[in-house]
Amino acid sequence: MKKSEASLTSLIAAFSRAYHSQNDAPKIFDDYLAKDLITKHEFSNIKKNMVQGIQFFNKNIAEKLKGDSEELLKWIVQVQLSPTPLARAAYCEKVLLDEIRLGVQQYVILGAGLDTFSLRHPELDSTLEIFEIDHPATQEFKKNRLDFANFKLPNNLHFVPMDFTKEFSYLYLMESGFNNKKTFFSLLGVSYYLTKEEISTLLNHLFANLPSGSSIVMDYADENLFKEKGISDRVSNMVKMAAASGEPMKSCFTYSEMELLLEKSNLLIYEHVSPKAIQNLYFKKRKDYLTAFETIHYIHAVKK
């Protein structure tokens, strides 16, 4: 991964959260700080590139909304870009706050990007240690952005540079103050890009020495990932974009396959949220383009 690639991936994710915070109602997930991590020039460029790429996403919409750049942008962001990042973040943070009340003392964000949880929850400064793990280039980019935006880093935030998709090491976590206490992990937007064997190996490493009750929230693609077209072909567009970027999607699961994979790491599924359930939880009765993404499921799994 090159620094520019790390920056672009995290910027686009932050852009979708910032756009939602500033333009959509009601809010699914309000990351009101995301906009502070993107320069006005970058925000403008991302908007322009999205609108110019409308032919790739949907030629009919390109013709129907021709000349209305704001509506074109809204369509692209709400249909293609933001449904999964918004809903999975809302779900993950709801579960995390519940787990904190049940005794979780450490939160490990795998693939943190420009995550702002620690900044939005200063009340947790003395009760929850937060470890952000990401590629060194992405992490360096984020540090620069936090500095640029004049954010004071919370005392409980720890940066752990690591390409965990290649090799996970607890040594780096321990050096940042991590202990074998009850821990909560988030693994969002990552599983699709790993093989099933890589996911299994990662989960084994994560939970090998942690106490019972430690848990993880992750999203995964179901068995229809490479067959389903989705609304306005958005699922197939997602798969094509991933392949074109050089990071092809590699894995999808039936529920039974995911259940067996988790059992190998001594994890039980506490809650499974299907696309239909996600629609009812976060998108019901909306009057815009936002709907739950086909083929994407969320899971909260707990160590026995």
101 burial via Cβ count (<10 Å: 0-12, 13-18, 19+): exposed
- Structural contact between residues 174 and 168, judged by C-beta atoms closer than 8 angstroms: no
Decide if 68 is inside a domain. no
State the pLDDT at residue 5. 57
- Res 10: pLDDT: 86
Percentage of the chain exceeding pLDDT 70: 98
Per-residue model confidence (pLDDT) at position 246: 87
Provide the token pair at 112.
């943190």
Which of 230-239 are b and which e, b meaning 16 or more Cβ less than 10 Å from the residue's Cβ? Answer: bebbbbebbb
Query: What pLDDT is recorded for position 278?
Result: 98
- Calculate mean pLDDT across residues 102-111: 97
Task: Read off the pLDDT of residues 1-57 as tens digits, 9 standing for 90 and up.
Answer: 555 555 678 889 999 999 999 999 999 999 999 999 999 999 999 999 999 999 999
In angstroms, what CA-CA distances link 289 with 27, 33, 206, 284?
A: 13, 23, 37, 11
| 26 within a domain of the structure (yes/no) | no
Evaluate whether residue 253 is within a structural domain: yes
Has residue 60 been placed in a domain? no
Q: What is the CATH number of the domain that holds 109?
A: 3.40.50.150
Express each pLDDT in 70-90 by its tens digit: 999 999 999 999 999 999 999
| Statement: the pTM of the whole predicted model exceeds 0.75 | yes
Does 186 map to a domain?
A: yes
Average pLDDT over residues 225-232: 97
Q: Say if 94 falls within a structural domain.
A: yes
In a domain, 57, yes or no: no
Please state the domain count of the chain: 1
DSSP 231: G
Does 118 have pLDDT greater than 70?
A: yes
In order, the DSSP letters of 167-211 are: ---HHHHHHTT--SS-EEEEE-S-GGGS-HHHHHHHHHHHHTTPP
Q: What is the mean pLDDT of residues 164-168?
A: 91
Averaged pLDDT of the chain = 95
**Hey, what are 140's tokens?**
């360096």
Q: Mark 32-41 as b/e (b = at least 16 C-beta within 10 Å).
A: ebbbbbbeee
Unique residue bearing structure tokens 């629609």 = 279
Q: Is residue 30 part of a domain?
A: no
pLDDT of residue 17: 97
| Residue 119, pLDDT score | 98
User: Which amino acid, one-letter code, is at 124?
Assistant: L
Q: Which two tokens stand for residue 303?
A: 């160590």
Mean pLDDT of 100-127: 97
Full residue range of the structural domain in which residue 133 is found: 83-303
